């Protein structure tokens, strides 16, 4: 299974290593034509404004939307979850969301870098607590009726699945725990 990781900025290397450890063929995606033939794409954490500007410069917006319409699954972590949303709270006026997922995501919901934290999370379908790493994390303010909320922290939505899309506001790639990557491969891509 070929899975791409958007490699413009942010924690893309860690996702590639986790996916390869699970047997996937992981591709660092730096140009839109590298998405051809991918079963899934990971939009990593990083700085959402910087990633959005680079995506616009290199023509990723239309390419990702088109490939998703053709069946490519998408997973956004932290900044990637922000970009997947239909609406972004607290974003600069010129930051365009991809509009893939029917969700509203609020940037920097937990505060600044110094307010970053770790917390055990109960993530549906993976068994046992998962170590949530929140770094200038967003939160998901609302989702569609057909979305499945997979995880909450202090009552707030921090992970959701909508059909062939997954959004996590924390960083599974920084934990050494592959269970959410496995969930993406087996259940989000596997169900596409």
Active site residues: 78, 171, 173
- Token output for 1: 């299974």
* Cα 26 off chain centre by: 15
Taken in order 49, 8, 5, 177, the sign of the CA dihedral is negative
Distance CA 140, CA 167 (A): 9
Taken in order 173, 176, 179, 181, the sign of the CA dihedral is positive
> Is the separation of the CB atoms in 102 and 143 below 8 Å?
yes
- Token output for 128: 């046992």
CB atoms within 10 A of CB 145: 5
Q: Three-state SS for 54?
A: helix
- Token output for 101: 């997922």
> Is the separation of the CB atoms in 179 and 126 below 8 Å?
yes
Distance CA 41, CA 26 (A): 9
């Amino acid at each position: 299974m070929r899975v791409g990781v958007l490699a413009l900025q942010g924690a893309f290397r860690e996702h590639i290593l986790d996916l390869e450890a699970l047997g996937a063929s992981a591709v660092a995606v730096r140009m839109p034509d590298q998405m051809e033939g991918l079963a899934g794409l990971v939009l990593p954490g990083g700085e959402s404004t910087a990633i959005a500007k680079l995506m616009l410069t290199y023509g990723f917006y239309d390419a990702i939307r088109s490939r998703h319409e053709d069946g490519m699954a998408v997973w956004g972590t932290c900044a990637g979850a922000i970009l997947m949303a239909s609406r972004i709270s607290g974003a600069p006026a010129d930051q365009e969301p991809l509009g893939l997922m029917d969700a509203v995501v609020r940037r920097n919901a937990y505060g600044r870098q110094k307010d970053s934290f770790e917390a055990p999370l109960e993530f549906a379908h993976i068994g046992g607590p998962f170590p949530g790493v929140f770094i200038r994390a967003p939160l998901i303010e609302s989702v569609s009726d057909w979305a499945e909320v997979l995880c909450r922290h202090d009552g707030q939505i921090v992970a959701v699945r909508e059909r062939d899309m997954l959004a996590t506001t924390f960083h599974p790639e920084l934990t050494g725990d592959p269970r959410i990557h496995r969930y993406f491969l087996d259940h989000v891509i596997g169900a596409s």
